Amino acid sequence: MQRTFKTILVLLLVLLPGLFFGLGERPVYKIQEVRIAETAREMIESGDWLVPRFNGELRLQKPPLPYWLTAASYQFGGVGAVTTRLPAALAGLCLSLLLWLWVRREVGEEAACNGVLGLVTSFLGLRYFRSGEADALLLLCISVACKLGFDILSGRHDAWRRILFGLALGLGFLSKGPAGVAIPLLTLLLASLVERRRGGVRAAVAHFFSLPGVAVLLLVAFGWYAWVIWRLPEASQLFFGRQIDETFITGNHPKPVWWYVSNWVEFFAPWSVLIVPAGIMAYRRRDTEMPILIRFAWSWLAVVFVLLTATVNKQTQYALLFAPPLALILGHYLASADGGFRRLNRILFGVFCIAALAGIGFALRKSADVPQSLIWLGLPLVPPALARMLGVRSLSWPLVLVAGLVSTAFLYSDAHLSKEPRKLAAQSVMSDTAGYSPLFQIGPKPGAGELSFYAGRVVRPVDAEDLPELLDRYPDIWLVGEKLPELPNASMALIKQFDELRLVKLSRRR
């Protein structure tokens, strides 16, 4: 127990800063994050948690669970960047705990520690566990469903586990749609075939589900949809149809089929260079005993790859779905590598450390605050030093050092290198606009949600053609945008400007 406590302490020294430190450093500006943040804020403002709205208009394209959790975070800690990202960071922490317990039981503590470090400190992990988007929540639900399904597949199919399996699938669907159900089910079916379970696929499916589990799945996944279709039949058909079309048919972010393969080095840096040797080692040892969990992880990875490759819509955040099975595979690889694989790992870790230290040193040279620079440079050294001092054998100190360096580099970038003017514009211009009414934004619907988010109220979008009519109704209006039209019968007074974003007062000429 004491050894486990020491291991957890060192892990937390890497994971907790990577997940929670400086969550509010970046402004809320990325469109996927803004949609959830502003929709949740409007839920709080209106008190209507059942019908999501974005800039005052219906927002039914995506499931509501991320909005509800973000709104709950706002209720707890107020509306802000930190509370926008807190649900994702907590999901990342819960996922780390789930994988650590799961891998520790099935494979061993060293593989569990390696896998968790790789999960959180990869580029995609640090990027999306620290963002107010829905992907971290979806990943947690899928992983819980896969873990429960794996237990059922392994013979632990009691009644409560089947009910929780249905609940996890339902919450996954309510997080971001069909992927939350399709990935766990297809993974379990493929794993059943690989393991050649007695009775085949039909018997395996019968193990996964029970009548109460199916009822929970249907209620959780489709209860809200049924209510919306009943209350708003015409609108729901439009929005739900748009989601299916954009994701599976036409796609608003189409990419070639090889897109994920061509970007895997960037997505999972720095650990992506280990994927090839891990695959080679697994192939060479295919005829020897491999832990059933690792075979399950390869099935999981294959299912995600096929589904994402076949989908027309391809985006960076979708690649996060690869992260849990890769964490399981790489964690086992690092724990079991020997001979040439071990020597290769040592060389790679040396290159990682040199590159990361050089990058951090170059960035800190530009800082005028020398004491702060020394603190940043010393942070990655604390966890490996503590691991050596406490004698933690299940954690490789080079691995901990690399994870700490990567995490520190990302946090430093968040704190000092991510504050471009265009990202700060909405926050700077829209603060303290309570006295400006009526306030509109110029541009197509549904408009820029970050303007409403930082204004603390809905800033409705209008077209240039609407402005004369508005000036007939109001003697003065306030307008925000980058490209503002000039009206012949109106005067324009600049109130605020940051970068290219301007807030002006339009008045009728008398």
Measure the CA dihedral 248/253/259/263, to 10°.
-130
Better-predicted residue by pLDDT, 382 or 115:
115
* pLDDT band for position 349 (cuts 50, 70, 90): confident
Q: What is the pLDDT of residues 280-289, one digit of tens each?
A: 998 888 767 7
In the numeric block, the tokens 């076949």 are attached to 310
Task: Check pLDDT > 90 for residue 97.
Answer: yes
What is the helix (H) or strand (E) element at residue 497, kind and residue range?
Answer: strand 490-498
HSE toward the beta carbon, residue 285, CA cutoff 13 A? 17
Residue-by-residue DSSP string for 236-300: HHHHHHHHHIIIIIS-SSB--TTHHHHTHHHHTTTGGGGHHHHHHHHHHTTTS---HHHHHHHHH
Q: CB within 8 A of 92, min separation 6: which ones? A: 19, 120, 125, 129, 130, 136
Average pLDDT over residues 179-199: 84
Residues 81-94, mean pLDDT to the nearest whole number: 97
pLDDT of residue 416: 72
pTM of the model: 0.93
Residue 199 has pLDDT above 60, yes or no: no
Q: What is the mean pLDDT of the chain?
A: 87
Give the relative orientation of helices 292-310 and 81-106 as an angle to the nearest 10 degrees: 140
More confident residue, 158 or 251: 158
Task: Give yes or no for residue 419 having a pLDDT over 80.
Answer: no
Work out the pLDDT band at 105, boundaries 50, 70, 90: very high
Mean pLDDT value across residues 54-77: 93
